[in-house]
Amino acid sequence: AHQWRGVIREYFDRLPFTQDDPIVTLGEGGTPLIAAPALAKLLDVGSVHLKYEGMNPTGSFKDRGMTTAVSKAKGKGARAVIAASTGNTSAAAAAYAVAGGMQAVVLVPAGKISWGKLSQAVAHKGQILQVRGNFDDCLRLARELSENYPVFLVNSVNPDRLQGQKTAAFEVFDALGFAPDLHAMPLGNAGNISAYHLGYREDRDAGRISKLPMLYGIQAEGAAPFMKGSPVAKPETIATAIRIGNPASWDLAQEAKRDTGGAFGAVSDREILWMHRFLSQETGVFVEPSSATGAAGLYKAKLKGELPKVDSIVVTVTGHGLKDPDWALKDDRGRQIKPKKVSATAASVAEVLGLERNK
């Protein structure tokens, strides 16, 4: 019998770990790469695959970096870890801290993270504090606290995080047998695009691939510092996961774009919600709104005639739809969707469905 053993054990020889290092894992990684013909048709390209990171243990790609960061922290004797978060990092930090026998402190922007994510951090007894400020304020505080107090920083400015997250690029190659021409994803604090760049470069240096995929990072229009070319003071978007104005991995993301011939883009909240619904209704993959941003950016580029002629595309969908399910229960005019109530007889159900009895 074989069970996926988590990214550190699966990619041990490609990660900076030794046999003596403790490994804190919840079995993260090994997520499905799902063919999405409906999206390939929409974009008019040969193939599109979705890397469904919502299938990680806490429901987002953050688990890949948290297994490495928390394991390293444990190896250094840390008793507590700290992270700033728009929600997913807080859920992952809290869960992996429990698994490693540590305490997690998480700082989140007050009132601006989804209930699903808040419930995870609370469930895993994270010390969760709502900061009167945005994510950028939270990250500033987390950095300052980790410099002056006995709490270990596990945000993606910690290079151990990117080491874990780069394994997603390895998995894409392992699943396809080649690297896609273009790989798109949502862009927030810019850790993830930097990690994919690192992973694909290692695949190239090892001779597994000959060319790096063009890396596309897509932001929400109200929180698009990479489009503006400088930080945004008051980021706003319904895609709370990427409501970030001052990305920490700025230089690494610029390098990822330049080195791969990639691009940055931005989409409106309406375009994000349209793609969120398209993915649910046409591909069967349920994601949180922020996670629809990568695909939304490609569709926007396609409509503007700016999508490069490519054959294969991978889109990372970063978090599970159950993280932030409220959006699925609204129609395209923002009205609440309420499933009809029926009496408990087959005849009344059939009548509501408009079904005619078999002859």
Taking residues 167 to 196 in sequence order and writing x for each that binds ligand F0G by CB under 6 A, - otherwise, the string is -------------------xxxxxxx----
The residue count of the chain comes to: 359
Q: Rounded to the nearest whole angstrom, what is the least distance from the CB of residue 87 to ligand F0G in the complex?
A: 5
Burial of 111 (0-12, 13-18, 19+ CB in 10 A): exposed
Binding site annotation covers 88?
A: yes
Q: Is 345 helix (H, G, I), strand (E, B) or coil?
A: coil
CB-based contacts of 281: which residues, under 8 Å, 6+ apart? none
Q: Which helix (H) or strand (E) holds 145?
A: helix 135-148
Q: Which positions from 138 through 157 interact with ligand F0G, judged by CB under 6 A?
A: 156
Binding site annotation covers 188?
A: yes
Binding site annotation covers 134?
A: no
Which lies closer to ligand F0G via its Cβ, residue 22 or residue 32? 32
Taking residues 87 to 106 in sequence order and writing x for each that binds ligand F0G by CB under 6 A, - otherwise, the string is xxx-----------------
Which lies closer to ligand F0G via its Cβ, residue 156 or residue 167? 156
CB-facing half-sphere around the CA of 36: CA atoms within 13 A: 30
Q: Rounded to the nearest whole angstrom, what is the least distance from the CB of residue 198 to ligand F0G in the complex?
A: 12
How many angstroms separate the CA atoms of 152 and 77, rounded?
10
CB-based contacts of 331: which residues, under 8 Å, 6+ apart? 337
Residue 175's alpha-carbon distances to 123, 164, 171, 179, 194, in angstroms, are 34, 18, 6, 10, 21
The answer to the question of residue 319 lying near ligand F0G (CB under 6 A) is yes
Binding site annotation covers 316?
A: no
Using an 8 Å Cβ cutoff, are 146 and 82 in contact? yes
Residues touching ligand F0G, count (CB under 6 A): 22
Q: Rounded to the nearest whole angstrom, what is the least distance from the CB of residue 290 to ligand F0G in the complex?
A: 5
Taking residues 205 to 244 in sequence order and writing x for each that binds ligand F0G by CB under 6 A, - otherwise, the string is ------------------------------------xx--
Q: Which positions from 23 through 62 interact with ligand F0G, judged by CB under 6 A?
A: 60, 62
CB-facing half-sphere around the CA of 309: CA atoms within 13 A: 0
Which residues are part of a known binding site?
88, 188-192, 318
Q: Write out the residues near ligand F0G by the rule CB under 6 A.
A: 60, 62, 85-89, 156, 186-192, 241-242, 288, 290-291, 318-319
